[in-house]
Every structure is written in C-alpha cells, then in structure tokens.
Amino acid sequence: MSNAIIESTFKFKGQIDEYNGKVRDVYTLDNGLLVMVASDRISAFDHVLPKGIPFKGQVLNQVATMFLDATKDIVPNWLIATPDPSVAIGHACEPIRVEMVIRGYMSGHAAREYKAGKRILCGVPMPEGMKENDKFPVPIITPATKAEEGHDEDISRGEIIAQGIVPEDVYVQLEDYTRQLFQRGTEMAAKQGLILVDTKYEFGIRNGEVMLIDEIHTPDSSRYFYAEGYEGRQAKGEAQKQLSKEFVRQWLIQNDFQGLEGQTMPVMPDDFVQVVTDRYVELYEKITGKDFEKSDTSNIQERIQSNVDEYLAKNA
C-alpha cells in the first residue's frame, strides 16, 4: 500500500491559523491567502474513517482544479495555484454559511424524503408521480445550513433571507451562479458519458464580491450516473450505475454502521482500501477524460512542505 495523508501538521511562512475539516486541512496566512491540503481521509455519515485512501486527496484536488478553471468565466473563484498535487492555494474569503445544493434528479436525500411522503423540500415543491432517480422537470435548489459540527440542516430560501444569513440580492445571485455552474457541469459530464445528478457549491465574500470557494464537481461533493443504459435501468426499476463514494457508504451499512449512537466504526481491510483507491482513480479518469498520474508518496509530508515553501518564496 502507498502512503496516505491522514493528518497534516504543517507550518508555513506567515501562518496565523489552522483548521482541520473532515477531509481538508486549511492554513490561513497573514497575506490573505489560504493553503488547502486535500488529505486522504474519507468520511461517511459525518464520521471520518480510521484509514486513509492513498491518492484520494490528489484526485479531489485535481478534479476540483479542473472545474474551477473551467467555470471562472461564470463566477470568480478563490483558486490561485496548485503547487502540489494535493494542495491548492487561493484567496481567503468570508464563508457564506449556506451550502447551495442543486438536484437534477430524484436521488439521495431528496429520494428518501420523497419516499417518506414529503412533496416539499427546502420550500421547493416536488412533482407527484416521480420515482427514485427520475429527472426533475427543472433542477431544484435545496440549500443546507453549513454546520460547524454535526449534520447540515435543510433550509428554505425564505428562511435564509428571514434569518439574515445573506441579503436577498446576494441570495438571488447565489441561485443564479448555482444554476449556471450546474449547467456547465452537466455539459462537461455529458461529454464524458456521464450525468451530473446533484452537487453542492459553497461561496464566500472577498472585498464585497461573491466568490466560489472550496471544491466543485468532485466525487465527494457530487453524484454522477453513467448515461449509457440510464433510460433502460429506469424503465426496469433497476439501480443506476453511479460514480460517487456511495459504495463506501454501502460497505459501512453492510458492516452495521450508519453513524448512529452506539454503533462502532468498522476498520477497512487493506484489500478494500485498495479497491477504494482504484475507484477514486477510475472516478478521476472518467470525469476528466485524462490518465491519472500518481504522485510520489514516499514522503508526502516532506513533499508538500517543500512544494508550498517554494511557491510562497517565489510569490511573496
């Protein structure tokens, strides 16, 4: 097995703050920049699994970079450079505490709510007579509050504005950006024989301007179906063939873990860790249409420290 980035304890020049998320470690510098390290940690059901997945961070970082570059004509984004396969450097923004979730298909959380009899999600009506994985007539936006800890919560447009999370004019702008980004992602996925099912976007404010932040259209933040055979599977009521980390969730469920109180997190055997790595590489190659070039993982911590230090020294 290759080495994996499970934790990072870097010290970069000008570093004034450090935040460790479920997957990403973010270092704030005194010059207004962020250094974001995509670790190889994997989370499911709001819990981080004990073993890292080699090359997962590289996959996420490079997929996100491709889509950020491909959408900067729609909305400005935080990204400036990627000095290492697992690292992105960009502008620090004030995060907007709402995740803009957009759904083109009745899948995941929406399907579970629909099966429970709900026909309104985040204030948005869902048509009668739909079945799981059907396409919505028009993609629906179902925002969620961005929780510091624990689960994100569904919230409606009206509640966001009433609670003053963002002013109405800014929220309207977020919805517009969300629809345009989803349309671009849908078009790019179609060229790869994929369907972009649903995804989420995060935004921030920098110098009074809305900017796209974090990752976009990655297998951790999005769900993809294979386009070939989609109609046939729907007609037969079969499960859709998908590209996402859903298979990891299914493995956990099979091992009696869904993040519920009293449940014990199972430890993935090495052969399954290898399967997960292989699936992430497959995800990268299918989504980007490019061969995945594995980085040198003989000493990841030293590699990242050196590459970031060199970038910061040249761009001080």
* Per-residue pLDDT band at 204 (split at 50, 70, 90): very high
Fold of 15-93+245-314: Phosphorylase Kinase; domain 1 (3.30.200)
The pLDDT > 90 percentage for the chain reads 80
DSSP 83-110: EETTEEEEE--EEEEEEEEEEEES-HHH
Determine the pLDDT at residue 99. Answer: 95
- CB atoms under 10 Å from CB of 51, counted, come to 19
Encode pLDDT of 40-84 as tens digits. Answer: 999 888 888 989 999 999 999 999 999 999 999 999 999 999 999
Determine the pLDDT at residue 47. Answer: 86
Q: What is the mean pLDDT of residues 305-315?
A: 95
Encode pLDDT of 150-178 as tens digits. Answer: 567 899 999 999 999 999 999 999 999 99
- Distance separating alpha carbons of residues 252 and 257, to the nearest angstrom: 5
Alpha-carbon dihedral 83, 88, 89, 95, rounded to 10 degrees: 180
Tokens of 9: 């304890």
Determine the pLDDT at residue 79. Answer: 98
User: What is the residue-averaged pLDDT of the chain?
Assistant: 93
> Does residue 1 register a pLDDT over 60?
no
Q: Is the dihedral of CA 194, 154, 19, 166 positive or negative?
A: positive
Determine the pLDDT at residue 7. Answer: 85
Encode pLDDT of 233-284 as tens digits. Answer: 999 999 999 888 878 888 998 999 988 889 999 989 999 999 999 989 998 9
